A and B are shown apart, each in its own frame.
Chain A
Amino acid sequence: DAKTTQPPSMDCAEGRAANLPCNHSTISGNEYVYWYRQIHSQGPQYIIHGLKNNETNEMASLIITEDRKSSTLILPHATLRDTAVYYCIAGGSNYKLTFGKGTLLTVNP
């Protein structure tokens, strides 16, 4: 899997959009970008993934730059329940996921 770089922590006000960046400059052409999150003491939760095009689902939007070297996960209206560690993973071509340290997103009231 390609190495990813995420800020260790971010804050966001409740109701505002949370934009979580991820750098994956060494990503190869067939590697996807996956986003998961982990709420304290729970198993990770799948959020979204994409290859080249921007993606949107009921949870979030994923914006991937044209050169695919970085991406941004957008939670459009953050709630307190979105407080979690968010992991960006570039890879999966061999169906394995390598988790880094992720970004601790704290949503404040």
Chain B
Amino acid sequence: GAVVSQHPSWVICKSGTSVKIECRSLDFQATTMFWYRQFPKQSLMLMATSNEGSKATYEQGVEKDKFLINHASLTLSTLTVTSAHPEDSSFYICSATKDRGAEQYFGPGTRLTVT
């Protein structure tokens, strides 16, 4: 149990376009979902936390107008990178938790390349 999926697994887009990444909890209802970013040879950096039906909470330094997060249901959260630039190229990973403070279950990640 506790499987999280992401779609797409990889995407290439042109500079200036927007890209949407989906995160789904397949066999449980996720009270909270998290979005991370990981650059090559670096650790995961938390971008934002989202709860179903409410606005996401962004970490310091993360532009909320650039990284739009929607948590439409207890099993789906989406991250939209708007007006993507090459420096947004990264590995984006989501996670979900059943309860606050409980362990997080991670998706397989989405590799975004902006050309």
Q: Which residues of B contact A (CB under 8 A)?
A: 2, 4, 6, 32, 34, 36, 43-46, 49, 91, 93, 95, 97, 100-109, 111
Contact = CB atoms under 8 A, between A and B. Distances in A.
Residues of A contacting B: mostly:
loop
B46 A97 contact: yes
A101 B43 contact: yes
A15 interface: no
Residues of B contacting A: mostly:
strand
B106 A45 contact: yes
Nearest to B46: A96
B2 to A, nearest CB: 8
Nearest to A43: B106
A41 B49 contact: no
A95 B32 contact: yes
B93 A34 contact: no
Interface of A: 32, 34, 36, 38, 41-46, 49, 87, 92-93, 95-102
B105 A42 contact: no
A95 B100 contact: yes
Nearest to A38: B44
Contacts of A49: 103
Given A44-B44, A97-B46, A99-B43, A92 B107 contact: no
Given A97-B34, A102-B43, 7 more contacts: A41-B91, A41-B109, A41-B111, A43-B6, A46-B104, A87-B43, A93-B101
